[in-house]
Structure 1
């Protein structure tokens, strides 16, 4: 009987296991998970108030219940079991380990108390076993660096009232911690312009529905954007930003959510704890200047800073690795003969859960062809 090892029980790994288990009745699939529970980012990465997205785990539960699928938890490749052992014991090995480590900004002050990576922060509020004791410092003025849906998720979770959080998967300790915060300002910084943002329309629109928050966008940032050649999704996103820019200010709102575009972070300021963020207008970077240090800087007081600028895949001993890209080294998903990668550890931290399904289908077809022909490279 052919056997396949899938390393990682997140969406990519579970989708692949489901397809293979359905198509190859005589195959044994072992899924290795380093934690004590499965499903990866389907639980620890999805926003706790987006319960409909988490329902995909119900499908994964059925996958794990199949006779030819076995989940092996508390097992880390590279320590509990080696890469060479996997290759010896399995006909095919597929890495679906995701991208769990926060990328660094590379600016002074990142070490200050009050500065967190979005991976660490989201895993804290999702009660990930390795981050549930983080207890982040959440002050009145919060900054989030990033122009993607992760930044919007964090802003939304922070801006919601305790009543709004009733319909979420937050644990009681996290609810208590959030309830003690006294946030009045949330600033979302993007190093590029609005047209380059990767917000999806539903998440961006959802910010405007919060009970105690007002969304602000400077109309100056939207001037001169050539939208006619942009995809329809980007046009709709820009229209929503324009709507926020045109909405009259609401002085009664308890929390102001302010978007800052063309804002390049230069330094986090403080002695031991964050006090401010220095930013530079990125539109000035291309001007004729002898040195970037001579360009004017703005400083914004902040108590908390969360960087949502992407993630990288940790290296595993023996597995070919692309350090520059922060993912496994591969050629169209193939790491070595009989060894593949799938999901974020293959393409980087891009795409949503359905993206993993389509890519798992493509890889499954390839594995099925190989196993059926016994073409072991």
Structure 2
């Protein structure tokens, strides 16, 4: 089996495939290659989770156990669509599962989004997580910054923008990230949500963390605090909504603490224009009102907010996968329960999808387990109808990579890189410091020469 993508979705699929009794009972032992275009595993756990979220990053321990299984082989720095195409994969694997995730910002179609100073949240997240394909430089402009969105990514971006850079020195951030954040002048970070407090998508844990930052005060305007019949029903039906509303209520009525930096949460504000001539100078929003059924409508009242930068956190989109149909609107590969569908909506034999490229960027990391279960269940059900790969031997795939000059990395190489990052961190009094560049990661991972090129 071949799996393209080594984030949680791909690794959970590999885990299920090694556990499945149907596969384990076959005469041919289960052999799974997990490929990634980056030299490192773990996907958005490494490059999408904020550095000050060590509890979420601990999921790497569970993912490590899967990639450490003898039936599973990790091969990094292998770019599907550049180094390989689908026919190559079909020649070496009975089935291929795509778990390539979502790596682009969903567009926000309002005037002014192309102005300098208006950024996609994905770019900023990849920058502060030191993604190797993102430029190392970033300037956090101005004293006032706007973040558009009401999900966990918006909250993460706002927290990093408001946080004192020195408070990140116990994380794995690189020197360029620390230097840029230390140079920022932001005193007021504004988060704008189009709907009400009961419709916000962030989790209570993410919300509470906003108020635990030294020198940062969370501000909620009581005028933005409104509930309707649908909101009250949501509070009764969901402990998460109930907890969020209670936290926000307490923040709305408390006395100011006088902290030097403020993080403002604005609800029922729809962004309608990024203001500016040569660069961002403000954000215009329309005040919304609840309709009673969980929706909102505009009031025709507009508010201009003086900010010098805007970060759009309105959702992620997947990228097209070479050789597969793609739905640009949803950013997903068309599928039925994980079975990839062709343009006639017929299943493509032996080709599957799981994770965000299958269903869109919805839910938390844990939701990908159930998603992988559906895909793997259907793959196993199809097993008798799958064509056997002409060259299934594990060594034959490595020969293909060698012939094409792919400088692939391995599981042993990743552990070597991981040890290197920990050693560098220890030398600076920290647990770990990431290696940023793809070239350096590949060189360190391949340092003992066991990987051929």
Q: TM-score normalised to the size of structure 1? A: 0.91
SS at match of 2:371: helix
Q: Report how far residue 48 of structure 1 moved.
A: 0.4
Match of 1:282 in 2: 288
CA contact (8 A) 2:326 2:333 kept: yes
Do residues 359 (structure 1) and 371 (structure 2) align?
yes
Equivalence for 1:229: 233
**Corresponding residue number in structure 1 for 2:417:** none
Q: Who is 1:289 aligned against?
A: none
Between 105-114 and 239-248, the greater mean CA deviation after superposition: 105-114
**8 Å Cα contact 2:101/2:357 also seen in 1:** yes
For each residue in 1:280-306, what CA deviation from the matched residue of structure 2 results, as whole angstroms up to 9, or x when unmatched? 1233999xxxxx8x9342211111111
Q: 8, 17, 31: which one pairs with 2:5?
A: 8
1:170 to 2:173 alignment: yes
Give, in angstroms, the shift of residue 212 of structure 1: 0.7
Secondary structure of the 1:9 match is: coil
Q: Give the equivalent residue in structure 2 for 1:212.
A: 215
Tell me if the contact between 1:95 and 1:341 (Cα under 8 Å) persists in the aligned partners.
yes
Cα contact 2:269–2:286 (8 A) shared by 1: yes
Q: CA deviation at 1:68?
A: 2.2
Query: Offset at 1:38?
Result: 1.5
- Residues 186 and 269 from structure 1, CA distance in 2 versus in 1: closer, same or farther, beyond 3 angstroms? same
Q: Please give the secondary structure, in 2, of the residue aligned with 1:275.
A: strand
> What is the alpha-carbon distance in structure 1 between the residues aligned to residue 10 and residue 43 of structure 2?
9
- Counterparts of 1:123 and 1:219 in 2: how far apart (Å)? 34
1:217/1:259 contact within 8 Å kept: yes
Does 160-169 or 205-214 show the bigger shift? 160-169
Deviations 1:216-239 (A, max 9, x none): 112222234334421221111111
Query: C-alpha offsets along residues 24-56 of structure 1, whole Å, 9 cap, x if unaligned?
Result: 451111112111211110111111011121122
Work out the CA distance in 2 between the residues paired with 1:375 and 1:76. 28
Which is worse superposed, 143-152 or 19-28?
19-28
Q: 2:121·2:313 contact (CA, 8 Å) conserved in 1? A: yes
Indicate if the aligned counterparts of 2:146 and 2:310 stay in contact, CA closer than 8 A: yes
Taking the aligned partners of 2:156 and 2:317, their CA distance within structure 1 comes to: 20
Of 251, 255, 262, 2:261 maps to 255
Distance 1:280 1:103 in 2: 21
2:330 — aligned with what? 325
Please point out which of 34, 40, 44 is paired with 2:43. 40
Query: Is the counterpart of residue 241 in structure 1 residue 255 in structure 2?
Result: no
2:18 to 17, 21, 24: 21
Whether the 8 Å CA contact 2:339–2:378 is kept in 1: the answer is: no
Root mean square deviation, CA, Å: 2.1
What is the deviation of 1:134?
Answer: 4.2
Q: Is the 8 A contact 1:112 1:274 kept in 2?
A: yes
Between the aligned partners of 1:237 and 1:225, the Cα distance in structure 2 is 16
CA contact (8 A) 1:113 1:137 kept: no
1:53 to 31, 51, 56: 56
- Structure 1: any 5+ residue segments left out of the alignment? 287-291
DSSP-derived class of the 2:336 partner = coil
Offset of 1:107 from its aligned partner? 1.4
Contact 1:125 1:132 in 2 (8 A): no
Q: Is 1:346 aligned to 2:358, yes or no?
A: yes
For 1:54 and 1:347, locate their aligned partners in 2 and report how far apart those are by CA, in whole Å: 23
CA deviations on 1:79-117 (whole Å, 9 max, x unpaired) are: 221123323432111110001010111112212221111
C-alpha separation in 2, matches of 1:284 and 1:38: 43
Instruction: Report the secondary structure of 1:340's partner residue.
Output: strand
CA distance in 2, matches of 1:126, 1:357: 24
**In the alignment, is the contact (CA less than 8 A) between 1:51 and 1:169 conserved in 2?**
no
Q: Is the 8 A contact 2:49 2:56 kept in 1?
A: yes
Does structure 1 conserve the Cα–Cα contact (< 8 Å) formed by 2:198 and 2:241?
A: yes
Moved >6 Å (runs of 4+): none
Distance 1:132 1:37 in 2: 18
| 1:376 correspondence with 2:386 | yes
How far did residue 207 of structure 1 move? Answer: 1.1
